[in-house]
Amino acid sequence: MALIELRNISKSFEDTQVLDNFNLTVNENEFITLLGPSGCGKTTTLRIIGGFETPDEGQVFFEGVDITNVPPNKRHLNTVFQKYALFPHMNVEENIAFGLKISGKSDAYIKDKIKYALKLVNLDGFEKRKIDRLSGGQQQRIAMARAIVNEPRVLLLDEPLGALDLKLRQDMQYELIRLKNELGITFIYVTHDQEEALTMSDKVVVMNKGYIQQMGTPEQIYNEPENAFVADFIGDSNIVDGIMVRDKVVKICDTIFPCIDDGFGQNKPVDVVIRPEDLIIGKPGQGHLDGEVVHNVFQGVHYEMEIEAGGFLWLAQNTTSYPVGTKVSLEVEPENIQIMHKPQSEGEEAIEIDV
């Protein structure tokens, strides 16, 4: 049995449809990330799970029990928000103890829980520290500790790392993975940051316009995107018009390339997706397309280049630098060419997937 199940959820705000017949299953001890651009419905989904919003239609189930109309404080879950919502007039231990005191726990129980939670988030000895004396990362950890002490079955996280700088955000990503593994809590995480989703998740749910575009492991989402939206949203991609000549043969920029896809028919327009790191740069005449480097930026672990070839501006990543103006060729292995059906209309880009 699934731990959480959303069935046929629809939600509108005034005249805007945010979720439309939305279905989602969350399993126990899973780190699942709702990923998508602003306005895609991911935070609304999280708030419906948490009980902060009521769906217009549909039901929310927890271990098979309908909790659609159960208030947030009666659900076996806690929420950590982007702004942490810590009480500034309370010190660290008072903030952590707040929910436990409301629940009527004994002083000894509360003291043990505070010590346990602070150790988990690597803030031993911070009990008496004032909130305004903490860094952003420390405040985020206290918010996590306050949620953990209530022993929730599910922890909802609404872009909790959004206010942190890059280095601290990366550190906290690994902290969240460690906490999830140590505590055995189910995490449902909302973000628009693709790196966060790929780094932390067991399962990623890519959303757009209130629909699930694709759901799978980080590897599946990155390596096997199901449509151009997912390919473009998850990492950098070259998305170019192509013609599927026949099974395992595609024409890109008026040039024939072998691929491994089939079942698209003959001479059908398709979207072709090639990741920048999969482009092989060689000397002119060595690859399928000849071109010229028009832009080159050092990114630390690789050089990111724009190469004009076949009438298309390709984004390429390579550990070897090719200066602007260098004549090169481009090649790509058949298995690194992703073929996708071309949408028949703009509305088709938001595809509802049965889950």
CATH number at residue 303: 2.40.50
pLDDT bracket for residue 37 (50, 70, 90): very high
Burial of 305 (0-12, 13-18, 19+ CB in 10 A): buried
Q: Are residues 172 and 320 in the same domain?
A: no
Asked if residue 164 has pLDDT above 80, the reply is no
Q: Are residues 60 and 190 in the same domain?
A: yes
For residues 100 and 87, the answer to whether their CB atoms sit within 8 Å is no
Q: Are residues 205 and 288 in the same domain?
A: no
CB atoms within 10 A of CB 258: 13
Q: Residues of the chain with pLDDT > 90: what percent? A: 60
342: in domain: no
Asked if residue 84 has pLDDT above 70, the reply is no
Give the Cα separation of 148 and 143 in Å (integer). Answer: 9
Asked if residue 49 has pLDDT above 70, the reply is yes
- pTM, rounded to two decimals: 0.81
336: in domain: no
Span of 61-65, 81-85, 217-221, 322-326 with lowest mean pLDDT: 81-85
Read off the tokens for 353. 């997937």
Q: Are residues 291 and 219 in the same domain?
A: no
Domain boundary among 203, 223, 243: 223
pLDDT bracket for residue 354 (50, 70, 90): very low
Q: Are residues 295 and 172 in the same domain?
A: no
pLDDT of amino acid 99: 83
Cα-Cα-Cα-Cα dihedral of 170, 176, 181, 182, to 10°? 120
What is the average pLDDT across 179-191?
A: 88
Q: Are residues 32 and 98 in the same domain?
A: yes
Q: Are residues 212 and 303 in the same domain?
A: no
What is the average pLDDT across 139-151?
A: 84
What is the average pLDDT across 173-191?
A: 87
Q: What is the CATH number of the domain that holds 140?
A: 3.40.50.300
Place of tokens 């009666």: 74
pLDDT of amino acid 163: 66
pLDDT of amino acid 91: 93
- Pairing, β 327-331 against β 154-158: unpaired
Count: domains in the chain: 2
What is the average pLDDT across 259-281?
A: 95
Give the Cα separation of 150 and 100 in Å (integer). Answer: 7
Q: Are residues 136 and 217 in the same domain?
A: yes
229: in domain: no
62: in domain: yes
219: in domain: yes
Q: Are residues 289 and 170 in the same domain?
A: no
Domain boundary among 198, 223, 248: 223
245: in domain: no
- Residues 6 or more apart whose CB falls under 8 angstroms from that of 311 comprise 253
Give the Cα separation of 307 and 101 in Å (integer). Answer: 62
pLDDT of amino acid 116: 87
Q: What is the mean pLDDT of the chain?
A: 89
Domain boundary among 223, 243, 265: 223
Range of the domain at 114: 4-223
248: in domain: no
**CA dist 324 to 16, 44, 194, 317, Å?**
47, 46, 30, 14
pLDDT of amino acid 324: 97
Q: Are residues 48 and 195 in the same domain?
A: yes
Please list the alpha-helical segments (H only) found in the chain: 42-50, 92-102, 107-120, 136-148, 166-183, 194-200, 218-223, 228-233
Asked if residue 176 has pLDDT above 80, the reply is yes
104: in domain: yes
Q: Are residues 48 and 119 in the same domain?
A: yes
Q: Are residues 163 and 309 in the same domain?
A: no
